[in-house]
C-alpha cells in the first residue's frame, strides 16, 4: 500500500494514501474533536456528511479551513489542528449549534450521556452570545409506540439517516426541508408510525442528543410488579441482554 508523508502540528506523519486528516492525526496521538462523524469499524461504514464543521483544521495554502473528517491527506501537506483561528472557529460554530438547541438539559432523557453536552464542555462553552435574539427552529413532537422524536434537539449530524438507510436499509429517514428548517424525518414529515419504520431503534442508539429517545415503560413495569394479583416472571429478550451488558460496560 502506498504511503504519504505530511506534517501535523509540526510532527511528520506517515499514513496510507487515502487516509483522512482526522485519522492521520489520531494515529499520531492528536485528538481533533468530531461531532457529526461516526465510524462503524466492523461494517466499514462511515457517517461523514461534514456538516457540523467542528473538526475543522488549518491546511497551509488553503484559503479556508478544512473539515478533517472528510479531507484526505496529501503528500507534503502541512496541517495545524489547534491554532487560535481553528479554536475560535470551532467555538463559534459550536455556539451556532447550541443557539438552536433547547436548554432543558436538566430534564432531558439524554442528560449525562449527551454527546453535544460533552462537546460543549470540551470546547469550554459557558455562554451563548446573542441567545436572547436567536430564533429556534421548532417542530412537531412525534411519539410512536417505541420512539419519541423531539426534533427541536436535532443537530443535523444525520447519523440516524445513515443508520436507517445504509445499515438497516429501512429507508424511513432522510433530510427534509431547506435552510434553517432542515431536519431528518420520514417522507412528507409524516409520523414514524405512518412511515416504513420498523422500530429497530438503531437511530436512537446513534443519536447525539435527546432528539431520538425510547419510550420509557419503567413506570408501567413498576406498577405491574407491585400488583399483588399478578404473578411476576422475568424474561429478557436477546437485544435487552445486550443492552444490559452494555450498561455494565461489557464487550459485545
Partner 1 sequence: MGTTLREVIFEIGGGIQYGKKFKAAQTGGPSGGCLTEKHLDLPIDFDNLIAAGSMMGSGGLIVLDEDDCMVSVAKYFLDFTVEESCGKCAPCRIGNKRLHELLEHITKGKGTMADLDRLRNMSIVIKDTSLCGLVQSSPNPVLSTLDNFHDEYVAHVTTKKCPAGQCRDLMEYFIISANCVGCTACARVCPVNAITGERKEPHLINPSICIKCGACMEKCKFDAIIIQ
Distance CA 48, CA 38 (A): 7
Residue matched to cell numbers 399478578: 230
Count of CB atoms situated within 10 Å of the CB of 241: 10
Locus of grid cell 489542528: 81
Q: Does 133 bind partner 1 (CB under 8 A)?
A: yes
Size of the chain in residues: 252
Q: Residues 34, 119: contact at Cβ < 8 Å?
A: no
Residues 192-251 that bind partner 1 (CB under 8 A): none
Q: Of 9-17, 142-150, 173-181, 221-229, which part binds partner 1 (CB under 8 A)?
A: 173-181
- Residue 24, interface with partner 1 (CB under 8 A)? no
- Closer residue to partner 1, CB minimum distance, 125 or 175: 175
Q: Which is nearer to partner 1, 179 or 249 (CB)?
A: 179
**Shortest distance in whole angstroms from residue 224 CB to partner 1:** 44
Within 66-95, which residues bind partner 1 (CB under 8 A)?
Answer: 67, 85, 88-89, 92-93
Q: Give the integer Cα–Cα distance in Å for 131 and 17.
A: 43
User: Which residue among 4, 24, 30, 56 contacts partner 1 (CB under 8 A)?
Assistant: 56
147-166 residues near partner 1, rule: CB under 8 A: 155-156
Tell me how far, at minimum, the Cβ of 177 lies from partner 1, in Å: 7
Report strand pairing: 3-8 vs 78-80.
parallel
For residues 117 and 216, give the distance between their C-alpha atoms in angstroms, rounded to a whole number: 22
Residue 186 CB neighbour total at 10 angstroms: 21
Interface residue with partner 1, options 18, 29, 76, 130 (CB under 8 A): 130
Cβ atoms of 15 and 24 within 8 Å: the answer is: yes
Of 134 and 221, CB closest to partner 1: 134
Contacting residues toward partner 1, per CB under 8 A: 49-53, 56, 64-65, 67, 85, 88-89, 92-93, 96-97, 99-100, 129-130, 133-135, 155-156, 175, 177-182
Amino acid at each position: 500500500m502506498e504511503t504519504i508523508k505530511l506534517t501535523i502540528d509540526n510532527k511528520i506523519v506517515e499514513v496510507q494514501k487515502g487516509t483522512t486528516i482526522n485519522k492521520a492525526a489520531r494515529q499520531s496521538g492528536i485528538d481533533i474533536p468530531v461531532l457529526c462523524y461516526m465510524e462503524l469499524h466492523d461494517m466499514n461504514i462511515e457517517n461523514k456528511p461534514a456538516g457540523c464543521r467542528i473538526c475543522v483544521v488549518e491546511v497551509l495554502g488553503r484559503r479556508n479551513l478544512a473539515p478533517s473528517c472528510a479531507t484526505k491527506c496529501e503528500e507534503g501537506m502541512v496541517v495545524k489542528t489547534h491554532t487560535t483561528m481553528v479554536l475560535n472557529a470551532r467555538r463559534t460554530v459550536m455556539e451556532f449549534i447550541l443557539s438552536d438547541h433547547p436548554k432543558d438539559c436538566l430534564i432531558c432523557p439524554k442528560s449525562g450521556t449527551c454527546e453535544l453536552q460533552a462537546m460543549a464542555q470540551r470546547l469550554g462553552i459557558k455562554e451563548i452570545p446573542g441567545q436572547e435574539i436567536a430564533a429556534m427552529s421548532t417542530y412537531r413532537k412525534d411519539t410512536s409506540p417505541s420512539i419519541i422524536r423531539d426534533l427541536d434537539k436535532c443537530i443535523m449530524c444525520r447519523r440516524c439517516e445513515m443508520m436507517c438507510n445504509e445499515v438497516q436499509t429501512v429507508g424511513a429517514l432522510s433530510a427534509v426541508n431547506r435552510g434553517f428548517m432542515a431536519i431528518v424525518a420520514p417522507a412528507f414529515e409524516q409520523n414514524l408510525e405512518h412511515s416504513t419504520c420498523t422500530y429497530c431503534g438503531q437511530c436512537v442508539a446513534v443519536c447525539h442528543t435527546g432528539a431520538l429517545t425510547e419510550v420509557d415503560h419503567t413506570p408501567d413495569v413498576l406498577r405491574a410488579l407491585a400488583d399483588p394479583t399478578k404473578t411476576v416472571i422475568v424474561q429478557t429478550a436477546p437485544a435487552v441482554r445486550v443492552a444490559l451488558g452494555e450498561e455494565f460496560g461489557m464487550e459485545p
